[in-house]
């Protein structure tokens, strides 16, 4: 057994760290601090994406034949970790999920026009899966694409389409067979957001993350915009799920936060001869967070090792997702307790600590427990695949 | 033993709900999401209907000195996410003065509070973990006090007539009423957009008469203030978590996925049931603490237990509610999100659960 990064992986980590230090300029940081640019989309963000494209840092998960780096799962994990530690809102879903799927399953047009531009950092996609009545039960989605002589006519509504407000295309899940069982009648399309039949309204959320309701009104797309076989879309939606889930619970950002709060507590005097970190309950909180991060890191590393060796283990992927998403919530709480009332101050306030990162993180934490495959369903999977228990009803 | 509410207490709850539900609709609350969160009209209504006199003696125009009555007010303010921050005024100032000041101050200040005049307190200090030992100092010179220090998280201070300040002096801890125009105020921006201020006192001179308590009783008064503040904040937490739990019940009874109502999934109904359990515990420890403080001015452990449960309930129920609502829970067009912010505020102000657990642990293993 060997539980550590090897020389090559450490080298990659260092290389990436240095690269991002150079990429993330003060101008970019100040753009990303504006709520409307929390998730990117501004001019500095777009510049950085193009730079990364031309420096070859997009397409890590892509096969070499499509111009990618074909990094191993652990290397991809290191990439995600390093980017997330910097706080740069890298559009992983566009570049590492949608991109490789289009490169592999898209039409000639899509390969040339879309995949190449994604690799260059020139395109952003919004993900159009969820609908008002189809969340956890995604396979029940109703947005329809009807075949016509020269393509498809799309009608319907999507909910929570993040990034749609600055994306070029929507990666859209539609129903194309109305007779077949739910997940057997779904097809994937590339839908341009500048089509006159496309519209949206903003949904503002607790975490200040903007998302959107998107509407598709008689949008006509040519045959070339279909990705993969007709009615075979479900497998495209699910093919990269394990890797996506792992990216969601990466241990990098929470460790970063933990280290920063630890540092502040060691320099915050609470009276003449004591620092905040001297208090026993504060030590206790830090120890809980620290031991939690350690377990998360190991779960994630093991998961990348499982993927790398080509094994399939449904239960372990779900363990990572459930444990990680719920641990984040507990960790933010424990760290906020340490900083006490100071941690409820917002970033435009006096006395704020860490640019109010804690204050913002706690507001975004819940999304991961129901998004990306809700935790109840993951627990069902763990009981079934991990403990071989009968399927719940 | 009798756990039932008196009939007048149920009446207070019902009639408060009538007023508050009318004035705290989604549309009306929206106005305060980015503006100064204080509804003057609502305060006026509460005052003219006698609700600012809850927990205060009849001789000042109040409705009697029962702290459980006052708890009901804070619980309902929490339940409706009312744009009013009144714990500084009705708890810290009014109750402490009622218990520790002379007749004359009570007559003057309590009657004006009942009539709707705003007072507030400034007790907490940035990075001072022990509010019973203020870093703010008061120097006693003849019959004057010279006060210097920095306070924060003082409520609605910009519209308050005076501020009750805690300070250390060579005569021990003092609680002093200072006119608002003598201090420097900075509005803070906080998670629930509550009207909170930093208060700076730079050699502020006041008359010795501004001390609200008899000589030598400052620490006792401050301890009472802090404990009662904990309990009343826990009542706000109770209202906030009660509302979140009822939202869970309502939403999961209607939302359908996989062709059935999600409340029929056992994992969903059990998590909702856990919220109910948490809520019941919080309600009971609050009731016990408020009743005990009616007859005993020092109930530190009861207050700590209330605040510990409040911190845990706020955290657990907030995240359960968000989770069980799916995306809807974080959508600012739905009701839940404001409660999640208030829950975090209630959880952390005046001591987090971890901090209070430590303190309670010290108490029960050493001197009791
Ligand atoms: C900020 C944000 C950004 C998002 N971005 C995107 C995006 O870009 N693209 C996109 O397509 N979607 C996006 N989503 C949507 C997200 O994927 C959904 O919220 C998620 O799938 C859950 O669906 P729902 O909100 O409809 O909740 P529901 O499915 O209605 O779930 C509500 C509750 O019921 C429970 N539940 C449901 N089914 C079961 C079951 N079988 N057993 C037990 N419990 C169950 C859930 O766990 C949850 O607690 C986003 C959501 C948010 C909040």
Nearest CA in chain B to A337: B352
Number of helices (H), then strands (E), belonging to chain A: the values are 16, 10
Task: Give A131 Cα–ligand 1 centroid separation in angstroms.
Answer: 10
Instruction: With beta carbons under 8 A apart, name residues in chain B contacting A136.
Output: 257-258, 326
Percent of chain A predicted with pLDDT > 90: 89
Task: Give A257 Cα–ligand 1 centroid separation in angstroms.
Answer: 27
List the one residue out of A328, A320, A371 whose CA is nearest residue A73: A320
Mean pLDDT of B69-96: 98
Nearest CA in chain A to B260: A137
Instruction: With beta carbons under 8 A apart, name residues in chain A contacting B353.
Output: 337
Q: Which of residues B98 and A66 earns the better pLDDT score?
A: B98
pLDDT at A241: 79
Which letter, b or e, does each residue of A319-341 get, where b requires 16 or more Cβ atoms within 10 Å of its Cβ? bbbbbbbbbbbebbbbbbbbbbb
Q: Which of residues A332 and A240 earns the better pLDDT score?
A: A332
Mean pLDDT of B117-133: 95
Task: Give B328 Cα–ligand 1 centroid separation in angstroms.
Answer: 9
Q: Which of B258, B319, B337 sits opposite A329 (nearest CB)?
A: B319
Would you place residue A259 in the very low, low, confident or very high pLDDT band (cuts 50, 70, 90)?
very high
SS3 A311: coil
Instruction: List pLDDT tens digits, range A197-237.
Output: 999 999 999 999 899 999 999 999 999 999 999 999 999 99
ipTM of the complex: 0.97
> A161 near A135, Cβ under 8 Å?
no
Q: Does A139 touch chain B (CB under 8 A)?
A: no
Distance from CA of A309 to the nearest CA of B (A): 34
Mean pLDDT of A127-137: 97
pLDDT at B368: 55
Q: Which of residues A388 and A272 earns the better pLDDT score?
A: A388
Mean pLDDT of A261-279: 94
Q: Which of B129, B257, B357 sits opposite A137 (nearest CB)?
A: B257
Q: Does A363 touch chain B (CB under 8 A)?
A: yes
Shortest-distance atom of ligand 1 to CA A367: 53
The end-to-end CA distance of chain B, in Å, is 25
Q: Does A322 touch chain B (CB under 8 A)?
A: no
Beta-carbon contacts below 8 Å between A and B: 134
> A106 near A118, Cβ under 8 Å?
no
Please indicate whether, in this complex, the C-beta atoms of B190 and A344 are within 8 angstroms of each other: yes
Q: Does B35 touch chain A (CB under 8 A)?
A: no
List the one residue out of B198, B206, B195 whose CA is nearest residue B169: B206
Ligand 1 contact via B270 beta carbon (within 6 Å): no
Which residues 255-294 of A are in CB contact (within 8 Å) with B?
A: 268-271, 276, 279-281, 284-285
Element (H, E) at A11: helix A7-23
Distance from CA of A238 to the nearest CA of B (A): 18
Question: 3-state SS of chain A: helix, strand, coil percent to 5?
Answer: 55, 15, 30
List the one residue out of A35, A214, A3 whose CA is nearest residue A127: A214
Please indicate whether, in this complex, the C-beta atoms of B189 and A345 are within 8 angstroms of each other: yes
Instruction: With beta carbons under 8 A apart, name residues in chain B contacting A271.
Output: 128-130, 133
CB < 8 Å & 24+ apart, contacts of A134-137: A134/B257, A135/A159, A135/A370, A135/B257, A135/B326, A135/B327, A136/A370, A136/A374, A136/A377, A136/B257, A136/B258, A136/B326, A137/B257, A137/B258
Nearest CA in chain B to A269: B127
Instruction: With beta carbons under 8 A apart, name residues in chain B contacting A338.
Output: 354
> A21 near A87, Cβ under 8 Å?
no
Nearest CA in chain A to B128: A270
Percent of chain A predicted with pLDDT > 70: 100
Instruction: With beta carbons under 8 A apart, name residues in chain A contacting B350.
Output: 341
Burial class (CB in 10 A: 0-12, 13-18, 19+), B124: buried
Return the bridge partners of A202, or none: A212
| Cα angle, residue B192 at apex, residues B187 and B193 outer, rounded to 5° | 35
Task: Give A134 Cα–ligand 1 centroid separation in angstroms.
Answer: 8
Give yes or no for residue A390 having a pLDDT over 90.
yes
Mean pLDDT of chain A: 95
Residue A359 a catalytic site member: no
pLDDT at B154: 98
pLDDT at B319: 98
Would you place residue A246 in the very low, low, confident or very high pLDDT band (cuts 50, 70, 90)?
confident
Q: Give me the catalytic one of A70, A122, A244, A326.
A: A244
Nearest CA in chain A to B195: A345
Ligand 1 contact via A204 beta carbon (within 6 Å): no
Please indicate whether, in this complex, the C-beta atoms of A207 and B330 are within 8 angstroms of each other: yes
Please indicate whether, in this complex, the C-beta atoms of B267 and A376 are within 8 angstroms of each other: yes
Would you place residue A35 in the very low, low, confident or very high pLDDT band (cuts 50, 70, 90)?
confident
Give yes or no for residue A393 having a pLDDT over 90.
no
Task: Give A365 Cα–ligand 1 centroid separation in angstroms.
Answer: 14
Which residues 325-344 of A are in CB contact (within 8 Å) with B?
A: 329, 333-334, 336-338, 340-344
Instruction: With beta carbons under 8 A apart, name residues in chain A contacting B355.
Output: 281, 337, 340
User: For ligand 1, atom 32, which residue shows the shortest CA distance?
Assistant: B326
Q: Does A138 touch chain B (CB under 8 A)?
A: no
């Amino acid at each position: 057994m060997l539980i550590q990064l090897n020389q090559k992986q450490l080298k990659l980590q260092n290389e990436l760290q240095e690269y991002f230090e150079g990429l993330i300029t003060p101008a970019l940081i100040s753009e990303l601090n504006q709520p409307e640019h929390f998730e990117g989309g501004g001019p500095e963000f777009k510049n950085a994406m193009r730079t990364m494209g031309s420096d070859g840092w997009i397409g890590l998960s892509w096969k070499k034949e499509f111009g990618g780096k074909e990094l191993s799962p652990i290397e991809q994990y290191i990439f995600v970790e390093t980017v997330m530690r910097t706080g740069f809102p890298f559009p992983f879903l566009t570049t590492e999920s949608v991109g490789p799927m289009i490169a592999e399953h898209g039409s000639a047009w899509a390969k040339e026009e879309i995949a190449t531009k994604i690799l260059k950092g020139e395109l952003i996609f919004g993900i159009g899966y969820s609908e008002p009545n189809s969340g956890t039960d995604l396979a029940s989605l109703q947005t329809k694409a009807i075949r016509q002589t020269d393509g498809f006519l799309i009608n319907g509504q999507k909910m929570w389409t993040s990034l749609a407000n600055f994306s070029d295309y929507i990666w859209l899940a539609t129903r194309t067979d109305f007779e077949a069982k739910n997940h057997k009648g779904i097809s994937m399309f590339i839908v341009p957001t500048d089509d006159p039949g496309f519209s949206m309204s903003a949904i503002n959320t607790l975490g200040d993350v903007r998302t959107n309701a998107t509407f598709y009104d008689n949008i006509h797309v040519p045959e070339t915009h279909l990705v993969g076989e007709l009615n075979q879309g479900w497998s495209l939606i699910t093919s990269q799920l394990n890797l996506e889930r792992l990216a969601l619970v990466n241990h990098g950002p929470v460790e970063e936060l933990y280290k920063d709060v630890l540092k502040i507590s060691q320099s915050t005097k609470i009276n003449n001869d004591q620092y905040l970190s001297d208090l026993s309950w504060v030590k206790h909180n830090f120890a809980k967070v620290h031991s939690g991060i350690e377990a998360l890191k190991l779960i994630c590393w093991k998961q990348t090792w499982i993927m790398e060796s080509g094994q399939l283990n449904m239960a372990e992927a779900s363990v990572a997702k459930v444990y990680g998403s719920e641990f984040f919530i507990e960790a933010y709480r424990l760290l906020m307790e340490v900083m006490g009332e100071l941690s409820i101050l917002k970033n435009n306030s006096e006395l704020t600590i860490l640019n109010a990162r804690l204050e913002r993180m706690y507001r975004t934490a819940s999304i991961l427990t129901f998004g990306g495959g809700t935790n109840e369903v993951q627990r069902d999977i763990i009981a079934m695949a991990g403990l071989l228990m009968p399927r719940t009803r | 033993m009798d756990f039932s509410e008196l009939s007048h207490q149920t009446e207070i709850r019902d009639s408060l709900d009538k007023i508050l539900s009318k004035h705290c609709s989604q549309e009306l609350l929206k106005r305060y999401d980015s503006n100064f969160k204080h509804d003057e009209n609502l305060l006026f209504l509460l005052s003219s209907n006698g609700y600012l006199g809850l927990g205060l003696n009849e001789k000042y125009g109040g409705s009697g000195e029962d702290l459980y009555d006052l708890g009901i007010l804070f619980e309902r303010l929490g339940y409706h996410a009312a744009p009013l921050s009144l714990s500084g005024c009705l708890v810290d100032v009014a109750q402490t003065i009622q218990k520790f000041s002379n007749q004359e101050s009570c007559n003057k200040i309590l009657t004006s509070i009942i009539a709707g005049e705003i007072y507030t307190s400034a007790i907490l200090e940035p990075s001072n973990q022990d509010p019973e030992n203020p870093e703010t100092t008061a120097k006693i010179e003849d019959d004057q006090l010279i006060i210097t220090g920095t306070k924060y998280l003082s409520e609605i201070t910009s519209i308050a007539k005076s501020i009750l300040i805690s300070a250390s002096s060579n005569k021990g801890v003092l609680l002093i009423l200072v006119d608002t125009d003598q201090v420097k105020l900075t509005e803070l921006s906080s998670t629930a957009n509550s009207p909170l201020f930093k208060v700076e006192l730079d050699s502020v001179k006041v008359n010795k008469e501004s001390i609200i308590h008899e000589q030598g009783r400052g620490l006792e008064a401050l301890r009472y203030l802090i404990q009662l503040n904990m309990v009343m904040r826990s009542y706000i937490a109770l209202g906030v978590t009660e509302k979140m739990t009822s939202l869970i019940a309502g939403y999961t009874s209607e939302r359908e996925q996989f062709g059935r109502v999600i409340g029929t999934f056992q994992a969903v109904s059990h998590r909702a049931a856990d919220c109910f359990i948490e809520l019941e515990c919080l309600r009971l420890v609050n009731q016990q603490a408020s009743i005990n403080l009616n007859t005993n001015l020092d109930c530190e452990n009861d207050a700590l237990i209330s605040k510990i449960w409040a911190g845990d309930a706020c955290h657990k129920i907030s995240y359960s509610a968000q989770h069980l609502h799916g995306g809807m829970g974080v959508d600012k067009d739905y009701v839940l999100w404001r409660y999640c912010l208030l829950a975090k505020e209630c959880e952390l102000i005046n001591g987090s659960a971890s901090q209070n657990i430590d303190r309670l642990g010290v108490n029960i293993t050493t001197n009791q």
